[in-house]
Amino acid sequence: MATADRFRAAVDSRDLAALDDLFTDDIRLYSPVKFTPFEGKPMVLGLFGVLLRTFEDFRYIGEYTGAAQTSGDGASAPSAVLLFRARAGGRDIHGIDLLHFDDDGRIKEFTVMVRPQSAVQALGEAVRSGLVADGLLPGPADR
C-alpha cells in the first residue's frame, strides 16, 4: 500500500501509532493558521492528536499524485495531494493536504490548505486551544 493510502487509512481510523510510522523524525508541517512550520515528529503527532479531536465528519474525497518542489530544501520529491471535507467550530471546511515523501517513502513535509477564511479562523482557534490544553504551546498565563 502506498504511503498516501496508509496515511488516509491511519487518519480514517484515528490511529496515531500508524501515523508515527509514516513520518520522518524531522517532518515539517505547514499550517494555514501559523506562519512558521510545526517541526519534528513529536510536535506534528501532537498536532494530529488535536486535529483528530477537532475535525467533525472529516473525509478524504480525492487524490492526485506526482512530484513537487518542497519548501524545506527546494528539491523535487514524490508527492500526493489529498482533497478533504470536514467541519470544525460549526464551519464547513474544504481543504487539501499536500504530502512530500522522502526516498524511503515516509512523509517529510506536509502542507495543509483550507478555505474559506471563516473556517481557517474557527480551525485556528480550536487547534490553538487544543495545543495549549495538551501542553504543546504555552497558554496566556505562561507568557
Per-residue pLDDT of the chain (143 residues; tens, 9 = 90+): 599 999 999 999 999 999 999 999 999 999 988 889 999 999 999 999 999 999 999 999 999 999 999 888 888 999 999 999 999 888 899 999 999 999 999 999 999 999 999 888 888 888 889 999 998 888 776 55
Q: Which pLDDT score, from 0 to 100, does residue 120 have?
A: 87
Q: Which pLDDT score, from 0 to 100, does residue 97 have?
A: 97
Question: What is the rounded distance in angstroms from the CA atom of residue 76 to the CA atom of residue 107?
Answer: 14
- For residue 143, how far is the Cα from the chain centroid? 26
Residue 4's contacts (CB-CB under 8 Å, 6 or more residues apart) are: 63, 65, 80, 82, 99
Residue 57's contacts (CB-CB under 8 Å, 6 or more residues apart) are: 85, 86, 87
End-to-end CA distance of the chain: 45
Instruction: Write down the pTM of the prediction.
Output: 0.89
Q: Which pLDDT score, from 0 to 100, does residue 72 have?
A: 80
